[in-house]
Amino acid sequence: MTTMLAVRDVVKRFGNLTAVDGVDLEIAEGTITALIGPNGAGKTTLFNLITGALRADRGLVWLKDARLTGLTPERIVWAGLVRTFQITQVFPGLTALDGVTVARLARLGRGWHPFRLANREAVARRDAANLLEAVGLADLAERLVATLSHADQKLVEVAMALACDPLVLLLDEPTGGLAPEETRGVIRLLQRVALERGITVLLIEHDMEAVFAVAQRIVVLHQGKILADDTPAVVRRNPEVREVYLGRRFTDSR
């Protein structure tokens, strides 16, 4: 399979703490991979290194044949790698449609000939409406984002990310704070959208039910290093993973 995202020997230190310690990772095109591990394992730091929010002390990140290391977060988005955040990043004072339209306008902003600028907003709003329909929020398009449920705000953020035409989508705890039924709905939606749009997904998730439901591959991070990287069935049986993260009760019950 084609490698869509490659992380090569990436290291990040904060003083005496090595938060990410020589991580090597390859994500195949069209797959959904979960990144799990205890709090403080370095998961979000790794996301920040991949997306340019932090500069690595060592190592390289590639998106297909494009080197991302050293690029600004904006240029990394333009290259095709987009993320969502653990704390949802939306426009609470805008309607869902307007918020996704803003993201779409940002994507359409480059490369447009001047005579087509008059149509840009109409095109962006049409695309935004289609994206809200794709994530199941068409009926809430005109609602202020601040009035939506936490689950629906998460979906608005996903729609905003999709508005940037990602090749690879990084999701930081997409089901964080959701009720079990909401979690199952979000997971089903992510599976469907990724498949329909051919998007490669790497997600951080603490809900193990969600992880084992959606991921084709699981990478376990512990103390900044990869402890395991395999299929869900193999990771579930890994004694080291059971010891540091999953726990005997979860693995023995399946």
The model's pLDDT over 12-71, given as tens digits with 9 standing for 90+, comes to 999 999 999 999 999 999 999 999 999 999 999 999 999 999 999 999 999 999 999 999
pLDDT digits (tens, 9 = 90+) for 184-242: 888 888 899 899 999 999 999 988 888 998 999 999 999 999 999 999 999 999 999 98
Maximum pairwise Cα distance, the chain: 64
93 close to 144: Cβ distance less than 8 angstroms: yes
Please tell me the distance from the alpha carbon of residue 181 to that of residue 149, in angstroms, as a whole number: 14
Q: What value does the mean pLDDT take over residues 107-132? A: 75
The more confident residue out of 186 and 5 is 5
Residue 252 neighbours by CB under 8 Å, 6+ apart: none
What digits encode the pLDDT tens for the residues 136-147? 999 999 999 999
Sign of CA dihedral 193, 198, 201, 206: positive
If you average pLDDT over residues 128-151, what whole number do you get?
A: 95
Q: Which of 16, 35, 14 is nearest to 225 (CA)?
A: 35
Its pTM stands at: 0.89
CA distance 38 to 222: 7
What is the separation of C-alpha 104 from the centre of its chain, rounded to a whole number of angstroms?
A: 18
- Report the pLDDT value the prediction gives residue 162, as an integer from 0 to 100: 95
Looking at the predicted structure, is the pLDDT value of residue 251 above 60?
no
